[in-house]
Amino acid sequence: MSNAERRPAIKIDTDLINEAIKFKLYNKTAIPYLQSTLLAESGLFDHGFSTRLGGCSTGPTASLNTAFHTEDSAENVLENRRRFFDEFNYDYRKTVSAIQVHGTDLAVFDSSNHGEGAFPGSTCRECDALVTTEKSLPLAAYAADCMLIYIVSTAKPLVALAHAGWRGTLGEIGPRVIDFITNQYGVQPENMLVALSPAICRDCYQVGADIANKFASAGWNELPYMETQADNTCKLDLKEINMAQLHRCGVKKDNLDYSSLCTSCNKELFYSYRRDLGSTGRMIGFAALKF
């Protein structure tokens, strides 16, 4: 019996949370996680998005911090990753992740890449989107307010995972990954399922004039994408912009799932870089082709 099975489930009112969203929260064991109903029902992929609950970290990173680039110890991060991936029967030491640089580059991973980014100092590429056609190779990414975009193909075995903050969103990282998959593997956007993780909501995401102007120039200057307030400050909706970009490049509405949970509004459940003024942990998201 694993440690995960021995520890009691954490008490969360999942009914309340799950009522409003398609990205459901599960807390069968000590490690609660969220899953897109759409991706889960396809039966082809394993995936999940963590909360901050069930880990061993303390202080600002309490408790399931999964990223090394925080105030946490590497030992805690590794233990937390182990607990999370144990839930899905994957070996955390064989997962792959990249150094996220808020860019729009992507990289393809195969069986020779098992373990990239799994340990501090291990070989790691700099990119914000990961793609694989390899079975049982979990792609992982980290976020605290930024959005993770899960993209899977129903036509050919393929999964991708992208990380989008404002820079990635402005750079259209979602459509870039979709285009790459179409050009490289011949999978059309209508044969892709996409899910967007919890991320910071519009109410919590006020941006400066420099960022607002960039988005306005790209055509995202009105509701629901941007909200200009009486004092001329702007709030940005990363979820709405990413969804619009994905629809525009051919992803069907029925094939796009999202979480309406805000990482900043839900302090008990999530880390938030903005709310916690940078002193915080990171959630992990992963996607893998089932063996």
Which residue ranges make up the site for Zn ion (CB under 5 A)?
201, 204, 262, 264-265
Return the SS3 of 63.
Answer: coil
The amino acid occupying position 185 is Y
Query: Which residue's CB atom is positioned nearest to Zn ion?
Result: 262
Residue whose entry in the numeric block shows the structure tokens 């963590």: 50
Q: Toward Zn ion, which CB reaches closer, 245 or 264?
A: 264
Q: Toward Zn ion, which CB reaches closer, 61 or 264?
A: 264
What's the min distance (Å) between Cβ of 57 and Zn ion? Answer: 23
Q: Toward Zn ion, which CB reaches closer, 124 or 265?
A: 265
- Chain centroid to CA 28: how far? 21
Backbone angles phi, psi at 133, to 5 degrees: -115, 5
What's the min distance (Å) between Cβ of 269 and Zn ion? Answer: 12
What's the min distance (Å) between Cβ of 227 and Zn ion? Answer: 13
What's the min distance (Å) between Cβ of 137 and Zn ion? Answer: 33
What helix, strand, coil percent values describe the chain, rounded to 5? 30, 25, 45
What's the min distance (Å) between Cβ of 263 and Zn ion? Answer: 7
Q: Sign of the CA dihedral 111, 113, 174, 162?
A: positive
